Amino acid sequence: MVTTATTAAPLIEKHTIGYVPPEDRHGKTRDLFTLWFGGNIAPLPIVTGALGVQMFHLNLVWGIVAILVGHLVGGVLMALHSAQGPQMGIPQMIQSRAQFGSLGALLVVLIAGIMYIGFFASNIVLAGKSLHGVVDSVPVPVGIVIGALGSGIIGIIGYRFIHVLNRIGTWVLGAGIVLGFGYIFTHVQTADFLTRGSFNISGWLATVSLAALWQIAFAPYVSDYSRYLPASVPVAATFWTTYLGTVLGSSLSFIFGAVAVLATPVGMDTMDAVKLATGSIGPLMLVLFLLSVISHNALNLYGAVLSVITLVQTFAYRWIPTAKSRAVLSLIILAACCFAAVGASANFIGHFVDMVLVLLVVLVPWTAINLIDFYAIHKGRYDIDSIFKVDGGIYGRYNPQALLAYAIGIAVQIPFMNTPLYVGPISEHINGADLSWLVGLLITSPLYYWLANRDSAYKRRLSTGKLANSI
């Protein structure tokens, strides 16, 4: 479905966190498939997917099964968030005020912003290494700055340009990774390609969790890229195009990483293994991955900027910034990340993965509360004006039910955690498998539903007649 605004939509996005009115809606649901397919064919998911055989010692078959299970499960949550975009017309994080209150949502927004910045910094490191691998004369620090500037330009131009690039990237990167698979399988350099590693329950569960958490990590900003679609777009259409794109793209990248590592000698860095395993087409693969990481990293910068704007707007509630404000903030974050990445340790990516695992412990309960509130309690019916009020309007400054469920959702995960900061007793008992995300979802979802339905204030809000039916 396309609106008449499609042909007139400006290349440089003018909106930030404000509501996107019907006359500015444009695009097609198929754009969501190409965004999340093309965006996931990139070095970081390749490096993450390789951990199943590198760190958790699975063989190829069980590694692939674990990767597929994790993405198929985690992708459901990610795509359900995406389907909120056309119905709400506002970014994901500011929508959280309807569940937590105007001040209650600040912690979640802050955590999401930190995670985006971490993703952005990690990806510019990968961009720098990829550029150095393609052109030896370009030092990694210079490559980092070039990669950051490329992502910055895309992020500043905004929503429409991001979608255009990923439509192109889906065809180019899709063909590239298929070509890469074909080359590796016909030029395997190890005798133990199919036999290295074995099934172990803790490693299998850990790999499932990594894949599922990869999808859940998109949840705080996935609907930012569907919010310009017309409100009349069916929820199912938004869900399925997002789900198929993200599961297929990320699964291919995860599996590609595992295959490349198994096809090369033990102990190689993943991207070095990719370059060696793809032989004569290795330079081409590195160029494609370099372009991919620059394009996809624009999403992380874009999400970080929207999070910062949301934090500031909570207190300066009359301020809905323009494209110029978004550009200035983008440059500030870009410069800070370049400074941190250039001076970072050699194990920057490893430290980043550790940080994401810690942050996801506090984002998982948010995912559960947001989805239950949208689909089961409010059924998509929200008062947009209240979301932008300093006092939260009908949602208030704090929602005790959501905050209680959120705190309990974090607490119940602690025994099941396996992070650099803490390893829970149950995780330790099952050889380090981290099931905290699953426990957090299973406990928080019914708890918040029960608490919210006991809240008589919610029923009074429904009776005000202010809530517009969105689904």
- Domain range list for the chain: 4-348
Q: What is the pLDDT of residues 140-165, one digit of tens each?
A: 888 888 888 988 888 888 777 787 88
Residue 469 has what pLDDT? Answer: 42
Which residue's entry shows tokens 């705080």? 220
**Closest-CA residue to 85 (of 207, 219, 250):** 219
Are the beta carbons of 363 and 220 closer than 8 angstroms?
yes
Report, at the CATH architecture level, how domain 4-348 is classified.
Answer: Orthogonal Bundle (1.10)
Cα–Cα dist 213/357, whole Å: 8
Residue 18 has what pLDDT? Answer: 77
Q: Which residues of 385-398 are buried (b: 16+ CB within 10 A; e: fewer)?
A: ebbbbeebbbbbbe
Sign of the alpha-carbon torsion through 120, 126, 130, 135: positive
Cα–Cα dist 377/379, whole Å: 6
Exposed / middle / buried, residue 103 (Cβ in 10 Å: 0-12, 13-18, 19+): middle
**Closest-CA residue to 155 (of 28, 6, 341, 12):** 12
Cα–Cα dist 35/242, whole Å: 8
Residue 21 has what pLDDT? Answer: 84
Residue 430 has what pLDDT? Answer: 75
Residue 347 has what pLDDT? Answer: 62
Are the beta carbons of 469 and 380 closer than 8 angstroms?
yes
Residue 71 has what pLDDT? Answer: 97
Residue 9 has what pLDDT? Answer: 59
Cα–Cα dist 46/349, whole Å: 12
What angle in degrees, to the nearest 10, is found between the helix axes of 235-262 and 159-186? 40
Cα–Cα dist 352/132, whole Å: 21
Phi, psi of 384 (to 5 degrees): -60, -40
pLDDT < 50: residue spans in the chain = 1-7, 462-463, 465-471
Residue 15 has what pLDDT? Answer: 66
Alpha helices (H) along 135-158: 140-157
Are the beta carbons of 260 and 50 closer than 8 angstroms?
yes
User: Can you tell me whether residue 158 is helix, strand or coil?
Assistant: coil
- pTM as predicted: 0.86
Cα–Cα dist 86/25, whole Å: 9
Cα–Cα dist 45/240, whole Å: 21
Contacts of 348 (CB under 8 A, 6+ apart): 121, 122, 125, 341
Exposed / middle / buried, residue 8 (Cβ in 10 Å: 0-12, 13-18, 19+): exposed
Phi, psi of 216 (to 5 degrees): -65, -30
Specify the amino acid at residue 154: I
Contacts of 283 (CB under 8 A, 6+ apart): 134, 275
